[in-house]
Amino acid sequence: MKSLSYTDRIPYCSNPVAKNLLKIMDEKKTNLCFNPDVTKSSELLRLTKLVAPYICTLKTHIDVLEDFTPSVTNELKKLAKEHNFLIFEDRKFADIGNTVKLQYEKGVYQIANWADITNAHVVAGPGTIKGLEAIGKPKQRALLLLAEMSSEGNLATGSYTKNALKMAEDHSDFCIGFIAMKKISDDPKFLHLTPGVKKEIGTDKLGQKYKTPRSVIFENQSDVIIVGRGIYQAEDPAKEAKEFAKLGFNAYLERLS
Ligand code: S5P
């Protein structure tokens, strides 16, 4: 079957965030999502500014910041607008619907007010999605489900992954796709984002497993590479981000041809 371009897939999507992400990827010629998992706001903003031209999405773990104030997320929103990328808070919600509603909208971080995308585990069942949807849909937000994980020994396999796919299909106006290691659905409206990406295959000391951009995008048919340490621990993060963006996008072009 011929592979569709990101732009070709836009008409299949009902969610505005999914449409926008697909548009940005072809426009900016990048399928790179960068996660600077750093603990100081100034460092988060510095790294984001450096890589902004080369990314389609910035992935945050806002709760690891030691000096969080709402001005950080305001700054990120400004940068996102200026440089045309989306913000994805990797919150991995996993509780019952009523609790995730509160965690998504309230508390210190008020994630629903600034993150275009967030994600959830499906372990608690569809109530998690319904709770997040009640807050996120009116704000034109989007959700990714963790259908598979990159870490050694994880339990998101087999029927768990199949159930995640079914839950996304049942809520496809709000669920725009998956965190997964490979394409798990042929439906062109679903996006697949894959973490555990470095230039060489390998592992870290805590069970993270790394694949290369080409194996993720070309061989495993995923859509977006998620790169953290491979970029922010490099001597020149901007140069590295540019290179990852090129590797990821070339693998996508190879898939199209
Ligand atoms: O299965 C997963 C899902 C996620 S979202 N494995 C992951 O590593 N992640 C996230 O991707 C993780 O929380 C981290 O922020 C990023 C990988 O970072 P890196 O430094 O290993 O590239």
- pLDDT tens-digit readout, 167-185: 999 999 999 999 999 999 9
> Which atom of ligand 1 is the closest one to the Cα of 37?
15
* Distance from the alpha carbon of residue 180 to the mean position of ligand 1, in angstroms: 11
- Taking alpha carbons only, the member of 76, 82, 93 closest to residue 34 is 76
Integer Cα distance of 111 and 87 in angstroms: 10
**Per-residue b/e over 95-134, b at no fewer than 16 CB within 10 Å?**
bebeebbebbbeeebebbebbbbbbbbbebeeebbbbbbb
The pLDDT tens digits of the residues spanning 84-142 come to 999 999 999 999 999 999 999 999 999 999 999 999 999 999 999 999 999 999 999 99
Q: Which of 29, 49, 92, 182 is catalytic?
A: 92
Integer Cα distance of 204 and 213 in angstroms: 17
pLDDT for residue 2 is more than 90: no
> Does 90 sit in the ligand 1 pocket, CB within 6 Å?
yes
* Distance from the alpha carbon of residue 2 to the mean position of ligand 1, in angstroms: 30
Tally of CB atoms within 10 A around 93: 23
Distance, C-alpha 198 to centroid of its chain: 16
Q: Provide mean pLDDT across the span 36-57.
A: 98
CB-based contacts of 30, cutoff 8 Å, min separation 6: 54, 55, 56, 245, 248, 249
- The one-letter code for the residue type at 146 is L
230, 197 Cβ separation under 8 angstroms: yes
**Average model confidence (pLDDT) for the chain?**
98
> Does 229 sit in the ligand 1 pocket, CB within 6 Å?
yes
User: What pLDDT score does 188 carry?
Assistant: 98
User: What pLDDT score does 146 carry?
Assistant: 98
Q: Which of 37, 49, 95, 183 is catalytic?
A: 95
Domains of the chain (ranges, CATH numbers): 6-256 (3.20.20.70)
- 142-146/86-93 β-pairing: unpaired
pLDDT confidence tier of residue 156, bands split at 50, 70 and 90 = very high
The pLDDT tens digits of the residues spanning 83-97 come to 999 999 999 999 999
Distance, C-alpha 159 to centroid of its chain: 23
* Distance from the alpha carbon of residue 85 to the mean position of ligand 1, in angstroms: 19
Integer Cα distance of 187 and 121 in angstroms: 21
pLDDT confidence tier of residue 34, bands split at 50, 70 and 90 = very high
Q: Could you tell me how many residues make up the chain?
A: 257
Q: Provide mean pLDDT across the span 209-224.
A: 98
* Distance from the alpha carbon of residue 1 to the mean position of ligand 1, in angstroms: 31
Q: Provide mean pLDDT across the span 66-84.
A: 98
Residue with tokens 């069970």: 207
> Does 103 sit in the ligand 1 pocket, CB within 6 Å?
no
pLDDT confidence tier of residue 1, bands split at 50, 70 and 90 = low
User: What pLDDT score does 138 carry?
Assistant: 98
User: What pLDDT score does 199 carry?
Assistant: 97
* Distance from the alpha carbon of residue 195 to the mean position of ligand 1, in angstroms: 5
Q: Is 95 a catalytic residue?
A: yes
User: What pLDDT score does 189 carry?
Assistant: 98
Nearest CA to ligand 1 atom 9: 195
- 57-60/224-227 β-pairing: unpaired
89, 83 Cβ separation under 8 angstroms: no
DSSP SS3 for 51: helix
> Does 177 sit in the ligand 1 pocket, CB within 6 Å?
no
> Does 35 sit in the ligand 1 pocket, CB within 6 Å?
yes
User: What pLDDT score does 198 carry?
Assistant: 98
User: What pLDDT score does 185 carry?
Assistant: 98
> Does 136 sit in the ligand 1 pocket, CB within 6 Å?
no
Integer Cα distance of 200 and 24 in angstroms: 27
